[in-house]
Amino acid sequence: MEMFLGEKSALEETIVRTLIQKHLKITTAESCTGGLLAGRLLDIAGASEVYEEGYITYSDASKAKLLGVKKETLEKYSAVSEKTAEEMVRGAAKAANADAALATTGIAGPGGGTKEKPVGLIYVSAYLKGDVLVKECRFHGTRAQNRALAVTEALRLMEIMLDKKEERKGETKHADSTNKRN
């Protein structure tokens, strides 16, 4: 268990330290993780240098009101979709005037799933200076496990984006969606 906890804190520590070094601000927009993602970042001493505010947008109405997710997107694709995850992360960055953002939206379980959108389907997204990366995840754990795994995957997306050295052009990219957890 210690190794797992050490790996967890190393990930967010790396992100916070990198953001501090690059003088970047980050925010979060969370649906199914309900604040866990912000909590992981804020567990790191010094996070207040890069994190000023975040959003828990559990309902469709709050996603639209606070993050600017389009009503058409929610009607056509639903809250649990790649498009919604993208609009959430872009909207969070804009609302918080942040350079970077992370977002989560999905069905943590145990109920709420359908054949098309099963329990454990969670989209995570990362934004860095106009560039967006979205990943579809399919987890098969308990509600708590699915939420924790989604947070880790979102943090990993930000780590990837911060590691990239080439110039970004504000486009949306899609992460490998084959990473499925049992």
Which pLDDT tens digit goes with each residue over 112-170? Answer: 999 999 999 999 999 999 999 999 999 999 999 999 999 999 999 999 999 984 444 45
pLDDT value for 164: 82
What is the residue whose two structure tokens read 């601000």? 25
Structure tokens at 41: 């970042």
Say if residues 82 and 95 touch (Cβ distance below 8 Å): no
Please give the pLDDT value at position 179.
42
Q: pLDDT-based confidence at 4, cuts 50/70/90?
A: very low
- pLDDT at residue 162, rounded to an integer: 96
Q: Determine whether 125 is exposed, middle or buried from the number of CB atoms within 10 Å of its CB (0-12, 13-18, 19+).
A: buried
* Inter-residue contact 158 to 128 (CB < 8 Å): yes
DSSP letter assigned to residue 51:
B
pLDDT of residue 177: 45
Residue 20 has pLDDT above 60, yes or no: yes
| Per-residue pLDDT at 68 exceeds 80 | yes
Model confidence pLDDT, tens digit, residues 23-49 = 999 999 999 999 999 999 999 999 999
Give 85-103 pLDDT, tens digit per residue: 999 999 999 999 999 999 9
What is the average per-residue pLDDT within 45-68? 98
Q: Name the percent of the chain lying above pLDDT 70.
A: 86
Domains of the chain listed by start with CATH number: 2-181 (3.90.950.20)
Mean pLDDT of 67-89: 98
For residue 2, what pLDDT band results from cuts at 50, 70 and 90?
very low
Task: Give the angle 144-44-95 at the CA atoms, nearest 5°.
Answer: 80
pLDDT, position 171: 53
Q: Of 102, 86, 105, 104, which is closest to residue 159 (Cα–Cα)?
A: 102
